[in-house]
Amino acid sequence: MSAPLFTSFFADYDRSIKNRIVEEGYDLYFSRPLGFIFAKWLSALKLSPTNISVVGMLIGVSGGVMLSQQNVLFYTALGGLLVTFAGILDSSDGQAARLYNTHTEMGRYLDMFNDMLVFIACYAGGLYYFVDTYTWYGFWGLGLLSGYMHSLKSNIYEYYKGEFLHFSLTDSKNRNYSLEYIRENFDRTGLIRSITYPILIDYVRRQNQNKFRVDATTALFEKARAYKPEEFKDIYIQESRKLLALWAWVCGSNVMRNGLIISSLFGRMDIYVIANIFSYFLFLGVGKLQQRVDRRIEERIKDWDLADVVGFKQP
């Protein structure tokens, strides 16, 4: 591909990503460029973002099942490649939606549901290899504990990414709606939507229960954003961007996906699973740092006259 053609092809690349600050290095230099190529190619083949998401899910689940063969390097490596490719397509569907303005709220929820299925397949497939070592009790115990930890970390990381995009004035659509709004407005007709609804309710409920930012702090930040949007944006970015990177290292899907794949290639996914369970203490540590950052932001806006300001309210 010649330089002018290459430049022309990637001319709208930045429009396909959310915000470079919230993008992990792995995504910026690997998943997003490849995802961009597939977004354009698959969209040219008339595949919608939802179609891309479903194809990625099927590929990822197939790869996860192959991790049950950790004594055969070929199958494990192929499974890892399929799971990695599914991650690229998971990026691609969102990029296609942003490029062609075809994003929907249901598409976002379906993406979350598909991602969950891929990781369930990885944990189930990888741990099945160790049934003789840990017994079926160990299979279920380790799988459920590590799966819960994975879900918790991913949930809270997505929360702080959504908050960062909102308070940096980039995009507020990545925040979840309130439980009340979802209960009253979510269309539950059809099999997919009826399955997605309870998963979404549980996801948002757990996010509200486990986030480290109290509602009073969020309300204060909303008022500051409404009062001096650009100034508060700069304060929020200055104080939060480094911690967001730390959230990515401890809780990001890329780290967890690659941890599963690499440990499986060595035939020891059980070590990663156990380490993931104990990463709860790292998770708590980052949460404490987040609360410290929030207090610093509060300190920097304490002299702002926010008493009569009405902040943004997420529906």
Give residue 5's pLDDT.
55
Give residue 178's pLDDT.
86
- Residue 173, SS3? coil
Give residue 310's pLDDT.
85
Q: Please say whether the beta carbons of 38 and 51 come within 8 A.
A: no
φ/ψ region of 178 (left if φ > 0, alpha if ψ in -120 to 50, else beta) reads beta
Measured CA to CA, the distance from residue 286 to residue 242 in angstroms comes to 11
E strand or H helix at 204: helix 191-210
Give residue 19's pLDDT.
77
- Residue 297, SS3? helix
Q: Measured between alpha carbons, how far is residue 30 from residues 25, 91, 131 in Å?
A: 8, 10, 34
**CATH for the stretch 13-300:** 1.20.120.1760
Q: In terms of DSSP H, where are the helices of 67-130?
A: 73-99, 105-128
Q: Please say whether the beta carbons of 39 and 95 come within 8 A.
A: yes
Spell out the domain ranges in the chain: 13-300
Give residue 13's pLDDT.
81
10-residue stretch averages of pLDDT, the chain, 315 residues long: 63 78 86 91 87 92 96 96 95 86 73 88 96 96 96 94 92 83 87 85 92 94 94 96 94 94 96 97 98 97 91 72
Q: Please say whether the beta carbons of 87 and 257 come within 8 A.
A: yes
